[in-house]
Amino acid sequence: MDFCLEYGCSSLNKYGEELCGDQVDLCRNGDWTTLVLADGLGSGVKASILSTLTSKILCRMIADNIDPIDSIETVLQTLPVCKVRGIAYSTFSVIHINRHGEGSLIEFDNPQAILFHDGRCMDFDRTEVEIGGKKVYKSALALQENDMVLVMSDGTVHAGLGKILNFGWSRKQIMEHLDRTVRPEMSARAVCCLLASACNDLYLDKPGDDTTVAAIKLRKPLSVSLMVGPPVDRESDGYYVSSFLAQPGKKVVCGGTTAMIVARNLGKTLETSFDFPDKDVPPIGFIEGIDLVTEGVLTMRRLLDLSSKYLSVSDLTPKTFPKKDGASLLAEILFEEATDITFFVGQSVNKAHQGLEIDTTLKLKLVEHLAANLRAMGKTVTIYYD
What's the chain look like in SS3?
CCCEEEEEEEEECCCCCCCCCEEEEEEEECCEEEEEEEEECCCHHHHHHHHHHHHHHHHHHHHCCCCHHHHHHHHHHHCCECCCCCCECEEEEEEEEECCCEEEEEEECCCCCEEEECCEEECCCCEEEEECCEEEEEEEEECCCCCEEEEECCCCCCCCECCCECCCCCHHHHHHHHHHHCCCCCCHHHHHHHHHHHHHHHCCCCCCCCEEEEEEEEECCCEEEEEECCCCCHHHHHHHHHHHHCCCCEEEEECHHHHHHHHHHHCCCCEECCCCCCCCCCCCEECCCCCEEECCHHHHHHHHHHHHHHHCCCCCCCCCCCCCCHHHHHHHHHHHHCCEEEEEECCCCCHHHCCCCCCHHHHHHHHHHHHHHHHHCCCEEEEEEC
Give the C-alpha separation, 342 to 279, whole Å: 29
**For residue 289, is pLDDT > 90?**
yes
Residue pLDDT, tens place only, 309-353: 999 999 999 999 999 999 999 999 999 999 999 999 988 766 555
pLDDT of residue 84: 58
Give the residue with greater pLDDT, 210 vs 42: 210
> What average pLDDT does range 222-236 have in this prediction?
90
**For residue 88, is pLDDT > 70?**
no
pLDDT of residue 76: 81
Structural domain spans, the chain = 4-219, 223-385
Give the C-alpha separation, 110 to 130, whole Å: 16
Give the residue with greater pLDDT, 62 vs 85: 62
What percent of the chain clears pLDDT 90, i.e. is strictly above it?
75
**For residue 253, is pLDDT > 60?**
yes
pLDDT of residue 14: 94
**For residue 300, is pLDDT > 90?**
yes
Nearest to 319 by CA among 44, 10, 94: 10
pLDDT of residue 110: 94
Reported as a pLDDT band with limits 50, 70 and 90, residue 86 is low
pLDDT of residue 235: 81
Nearest to 327 by CA among 360, 291, 280: 280
What percent of the chain clears pLDDT 70, i.e. is strictly above it?
93
81: CB partners within 8 A, 6+ apart: 87, 88, 89
> What average pLDDT does range 226-234 have in this prediction?
88
Reported as a pLDDT band with limits 50, 70 and 90, residue 255 is very high
Residue pLDDT, tens place only, 132-172: 788 999 999 999 999 999 999 999 999 987 677 667 799 99
Give the C-alpha separation, 326 to 33, whole Å: 33
59, 22 contact by CB (below 8 A): no
Q: β-strand 380-385 against 340-345: which pairing, if any?
A: parallel
Reported as a pLDDT band with limits 50, 70 and 90, residue 44 is confident
> What average pLDDT does range 87-104 have in this prediction?
89
pLDDT of residue 1: 66
Mean pLDDT, the chain, rounded, equals 91
Give the C-alpha separation, 335 to 224, whole Å: 11
> What average pLDDT does range 112-128 have in this prediction?
96
Nearest to 385 by CA among 154, 175, 231, 276: 231
> What average pLDDT does range 187-213 have in this prediction?
95
pLDDT of residue 349: 66
Give the C-alpha separation, 280 to 301, whole Å: 11
The highest-level CATH class for domain 4-219 is: alpha beta
pLDDT of residue 347: 80
| Phi-psi map region of 337: left, alpha, beta (phi>0 left; psi -120 to 50 alpha) | alpha
Nearest to 334 by CA among 304, 301, 364, 362: 304
> What average pLDDT does range 351-369 have in this prediction?
71
**For residue 38, is pLDDT > 90?**
yes
CA 383 to chain centre: 21
**For residue 201, is pLDDT > 90?**
yes
Q: Other C-beta atoms within 10 Å of 226: how many?
A: 27
Any idea which of 3-12, 25-34, 251-260, 353-362 has the lowest mean pLDDT?
353-362
